[in-house]
């Protein structure tokens, strides 16, 4: 049980790397809003099926008490994740795929800082060293060998995406803690269903009213849209379950192993090359994650 969260985190990181890759492909023909909706549109029915499966395989009382605080956490987390996804898609259009992921992975550092300052999730000296090393890694990834091509807006989009993802992760854990009467895996499933449901309905309403052409474009790339949704659902299932068992800072720092998966996808799937400084940045991201875990 003690190491279960590690398995869920590794699963989440692997599937998120593929989700980002498919999102990058989809973003060539579908706008930012459509790519964002692609994360959730098929995830909602999958979340319903997953929760149903849990209750059938591990019967527990069906009565669940949702507090007003739980609803607030769900709404803010859902909006933050939508914003984070939209910013990441914009980032993919401005920078190399793996570097875009690297910039957005400032999420782990920001989650550690916010968790320590607001949620009393304190780190050891070794842990803070890992956070600092992670910051250096993000700097190297954003700078690379093409600093002259990196604009301040691009850097801010990356950090903004990381911040929104960090807020989402922290509130997901807080929402999970609002359901203490349930086993950890059921808590995570309810939070997953609640957030995806809110996101899916709100995005569908918005696009139906203001951008029907986006929905049409998604329909023309239905197979790729499903791949994005499937990978996103499995990744979220892994993240949410791990964060119901362990602190966000620990989960997200280990989750930076996604950077390695992204590097492999970038090299072998997109045939992209990285500069030497960017290789060092990716390596430091992994070292930072290991240091925080050891702490």
In the chain, the number of structural domains is 1
pLDDT the model gives residue 124: 72
Residues contacting 179, CB < 8 A, separation 6+: 64, 65, 66, 70, 186, 187, 190, 191
Within a domain: residue 60? no
What is the rounded CA–CA span in Å between residue 22 and residue 42?
Answer: 15
Within a domain: residue 184? yes
pLDDT the model gives residue 147: 47
pLDDT the model gives residue 42: 94
The closest of 209, 259, 186 to 13, measured between CA atoms, is 259
Mean pLDDT, contiguous 10-residue spans, the chain (295 residues): 81 92 88 90 94 88 86 96 87 62 71 74 71 70 53 77 91 92 91 96 94 93 95 94 84 78 75 68 72 65
Can you give the residue range of the structural domain that contains 256? 4-55+65-294
CB atoms within 10 A of CB 209: 8
What is the rounded CA–CA span in Å between residue 119 and residue 192?
Answer: 22
Within a domain: residue 20? yes
pLDDT the model gives residue 132: 73
């Amino acid at each position: 049980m003690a190491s279960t969260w590690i398995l869920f985190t590794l699963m989440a990181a692997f599937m998120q790397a593929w989700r980002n890759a498919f999102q990058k492909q989809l973003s060539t023909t579908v706008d930012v809003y459509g790519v964002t909706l692609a994360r959730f549109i098929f995830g909602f029915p999958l979340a319903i099926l997953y929760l149903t499966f849990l209750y059938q395989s591990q019967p527990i009382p069906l009565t669940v008490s949702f507090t007003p605080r739980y609803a607030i956490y769900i709404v803010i987390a859902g909006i933050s994740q939508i914003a984070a996804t939209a910013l990441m898609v914009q980032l993919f259009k401005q920078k190399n795929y793996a570097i875009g992921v690297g910039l957005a992975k400032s999420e782990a550092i920001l989650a550690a800082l916010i968790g320590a300052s607001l949620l009393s999730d304190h780190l050891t000296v070794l842990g803070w060293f890992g956070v600092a090393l992670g910051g250096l890694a993000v700097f190297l990834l954003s700078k690379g060998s093409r600093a002259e091509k990196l604009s301040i807006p691009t850097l801010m989009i990356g950090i903004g995406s990381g911040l929104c993802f960090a807020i989402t992760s922290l509130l997901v854990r807080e929402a999970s803690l609002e359901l203490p009467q349930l086993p950890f895996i059921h808590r995570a499933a309810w939070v997953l269903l609640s957030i995806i449901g809110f996101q899916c309905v709100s995005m569908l309403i918005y696009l139906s009213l203001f951008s029907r052409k986006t929905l049409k474009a998604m329909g023309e790339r239905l197979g790729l849209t499903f791949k994005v949704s499937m990978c996103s659902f499995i990744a979220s299932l892994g993240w949410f379950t791990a964060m119901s068992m362990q602190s966000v800072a620990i989960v997200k720092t280990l989750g930076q192993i996604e950077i390695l998966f992204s590097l492999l996808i970038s090299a072998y799937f997109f045939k992209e090359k990285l500069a030497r400084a960017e290789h060092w940045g990716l390596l430091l991201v992994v070292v930072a994650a290991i240091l925080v875990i050891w702490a």
